[in-house]
Amino acid sequence: MHFFEEIHGEIVGYRIDEALQLIDRVVEEGIDYLHISLFTGYQDGPVGMDQSYGQQIKKVVNERCPVMIVSNVFTAEDALNALNYGDIVAIGRAALIEPEFARKIREGRAGEIAKSVENRLHTLAIPEKAIEWFTMEGSPLPPLLGIENSKQEVLV
């Protein structure tokens, strides 16, 4: 599942309760894991509700499969806290920014984790096309911290 609510102003496609019904049916069919990708943050939830998307989904899944969650995990503390919302934490952008993210945590060097690509973009193996996607106007991708100030390092 990628989006849990489709609401555009007054136009409502579906809401979280409908998404949870779909998730229940999909999990019932037997899957290895469910990946939750949130644009705003792993701890976010529907407006007016006490529980996050991840918490609601974990409740519906009821340990029938692991729930993987991702969004705005940039530090060891973020990763640890995200485990309150999912069973597995994905670190997409964090791994782009800091390829040694997991290793630094494992080695007790979490304080050395880079949180921005600024002045480092040329040292990272981010494909030029991905850089274009992250920096294009109206990009569907969430921001990659520091990329706007560094894209000329690679594209020049």
> Cα separation of 107 and 153, whole Å?
30
0.75 exceeded by the pTM?
yes
Task: Pick the closest to residue 116 from 87, 86, 94 (CA basis).
Answer: 94
| Residue type (1 letter), 88 | I
- 3-class secondary structure, 21: helix
- The upper half-sphere exposure of residue 3, i.e. CA atoms within 13 Å in the direction of its Cβ, equals 9
Q: Indicate the range of 26-30, 37-41, 94-98 predicted with least confidence.
A: 37-41
Q: Which two tokens stand for residue 114?
A: 């880079």
pLDDT tens digits for range 32-89: 999 998 878 889 888 888 999 999 999 999 999 999 999 899 999 999 999 999 999 9
**Cα–Cα separations (whole angstroms), residue 18 to 23, 24, 79, 85, 88:** 9, 10, 28, 20, 24
Q: How confident is residue 109, by pLDDT bands cut at 50, 70 and 90?
A: very high
Strand 88-89 and strand 67-70: the pairing is parallel
Q: Indicate the range of 11-25, 42-56, 79-93, 109-123 predicted with least confidence.
A: 11-25
Kindly report the average pLDDT of the chain as a whole number.
Answer: 88
Q: How many residues does the chain have?
A: 156
Domain boundaries, the chain: 6-114, 116-156
In CATH, what class is 6-114?
alpha beta
